[in-house]
Structure 1
Amino acid sequence: MKLAKKLSIATYSSLFVALGAISMQAQAVEVSGDITFVSDYAFRGISQTEEAPAIQGGITLAADSGFYVSVWGSSVDFGGEGTLELDVLLGWSGDIAEDWSADVGIMRYGYPNTEFEGSNFWELYGSVSYKDLTLGLAYSDDYYGNAGNYYYIYAGYSLALTDNLSIDFHIGHNELSDDSSASYLDYGVTLSTEVLGIGLSLAYIDTDIKDCSLCDSRVVFGVSKSF
């Protein structure tokens, strides 16, 4: 059964790569990127840096058709067993109706200098947005550390307080179907603004995991520059 699921993800990946390549060859491609400093890199509520600061950055090539390819990286700290995360995404995003938009794709999470087995994994993702409300789902058939089937269901809402100040609400459910005791909720609130072309953010992040210092509530500050 697991082999069938892996073949399914591989098939989706090949098809998406082919469609994306064909689309981007025939159209103008826009390049964008960013570099970010955060006081803690929290991924789905859990610190990836032992609660220490991280440097992050990414670059995206997007075609008029909506297809895009992105590379994103961050410093991490897994107790001396890895210092770099490097992810690759291929997806499509765009409007599907008035006030409605979607974003779907496949992503590979990579940890080039992490030595233990199962550190790299694939994930399918998709979301639908209506105005400022977003509902999304991600799935991996072999999650980080060979954890097996994993589902991430989340919701987010963005509220503009002023022309230059917004607040974002987020809640997500992490489901490990092979080990339901490891499933958990993560949630947070982020306040964002921009000053002289520099993005500033202040986030409150938490999970419902007990007795875990890397999963408890924290405030994360971020500074970013887009180009």
Structure 2
Amino acid sequence: MLKPSLFMIATLMASDNVSAQLLQRDLADYNLQFGTSPARSMAQGLVKPASTESVHGGVDLSSDSGWYFGQWAPSMGLTASTNLEIDTYTGFKRSLTGNLGYEVGVIHYTFPDLATNDSHEVYAGLTLLGNRFGAAFSDDPGRRDSTLFADFGTVPMLDFGVRMKVGSHQLDTPYTIGDDTEVRGFSDWSVQLSRAFMGVDLNFIYSDSSLRGPECVAYSGQNSWCDSTVVIQAQRALF
């Protein structure tokens, strides 16, 4: 795996109110990309793309044959509440026809600043008539996570991009809360509506989980919050 220092050189700075930027260059039969959001569609939809601080980015190298390799850091660990995370991935992507394609891959999660074991996640996806469907599974220390993902693109009737995600999380050791209730597992889900308006990218995100009240202390899923939450985002590129 590439050293963290190499990845940091490739990282670009972006604040939360700036849309993702991308630099791209062709090198013979290869395409090299540097950006502030994951370059891979499945990495962007299924793995852990959320940025936890203002500095994040990645590098992606793909070949005409369909093989690709890259690294992505959702956090550079520059604040007291965050830690350096490096996600290294490789996979294969192929279009069978103009309306049908598939993708498979694996991601290795590394946390250099933490005394924790690395983890892996395998994913696979299908592109059909402009829609993307995928699934991912990870067997991490102490837990197992499964994710289903669907991106329907822009729905004509709504004129919004629609993206949905559902996750299932099973804990090897039950989490005990104050009243001796044990949480052995939980599920969560999210729906995102996106639309460009006068140069501004608007996102409306609804997320929720199966945990309620005091059970939320056991939550460690794909959403930022355990309870039912609605988030409205507005992003505009500066260049």
The alignment's TM-score, normalised by the length of structure 2, stands at: 0.61
Query: Does residue 171 of the first structure (1) align with residue 172 of the second (2)?
Result: no
Q: How many residues of Structure 1 are paired with residues of Structure 2 in the alignment?
A: 181
Q: What corresponds to 1:64 in structure 2?
A: 64
Contact 1:156/1:169, CA 8 A, preserved across alignment: yes
- Paired residue secondary structure (1:181): strand
Separation in 2 of the partners of 1:182 and 1:204? 24
Q: What corresponds to 1:157 in structure 2?
A: 152
Separation in 2 of the partners of 1:220 and 1:174? 25
Shift of 1:125: 0.7
Code of the aligned partner of 2:116: E
Gaps of 5+ in 1: 1-26, 37-42
Query: Does residue 126 of the first structure (1) align with residue 124 of the second (2)?
Result: yes
Contact 2:143/2:170, CA 8 A, preserved across alignment: yes
After superposition, give the CA deviation of every residue in 1:58-97 in whole Å (9 maximum; x if it has no partner): 22111001111111112278x9574222111101112123
CA shift in 2, pair 1:187/1:104, >3 Å = same
Separation in 2 of the partners of 1:210 and 1:48? 26
Shift of 1:154: 2.6
Gaps of 5+ in 2: 1-27, 38-45, 175-182, 217-223
- Paired residue secondary structure (1:124): strand
Shift of 1:220: 5.4
CA shift in 2, pair 1:71/1:201, >3 Å = farther
Separation in 1 of the partners of 2:59 and 2:162? 23
Separation in 2 of the partners of 1:33 and 1:160? 30
Separation in 2 of the partners of 1:224 and 1:166? 17
Q: What corresponds to 1:12 in structure 2?
A: none
Separation in 1 of the partners of 2:99 and 2:170? 33
The alignment's TM-score, normalised by the length of structure 1, stands at: 0.63
Higher helix share: 1
Separation in 2 of the partners of 1:28 and 1:150? 36
Code of the aligned partner of 1:117: T
Contact 2:143/2:169, CA 8 A, preserved across alignment: no
Higher relative contact order (Cα pairs below 8 Å, separated by 6+ residues): 1
Separation in 2 of the partners of 1:195 and 1:58? 28
Shift of 1:214: 2.8
Q: How many percent of aligned residue pairs carry the same amino acid?
A: 18
Q: What corresponds to 1:202 in structure 2?
A: 203
Separation in 1 of the partners of 2:164 and 2:61? 27
Separation in 2 of the partners of 1:192 and 1:185? 24
Report the aligned-residue RMSD. 3.6
Contact 2:149/2:164, CA 8 A, preserved across alignment: yes
Q: What corresponds to 1:104 in structure 2?
A: 104
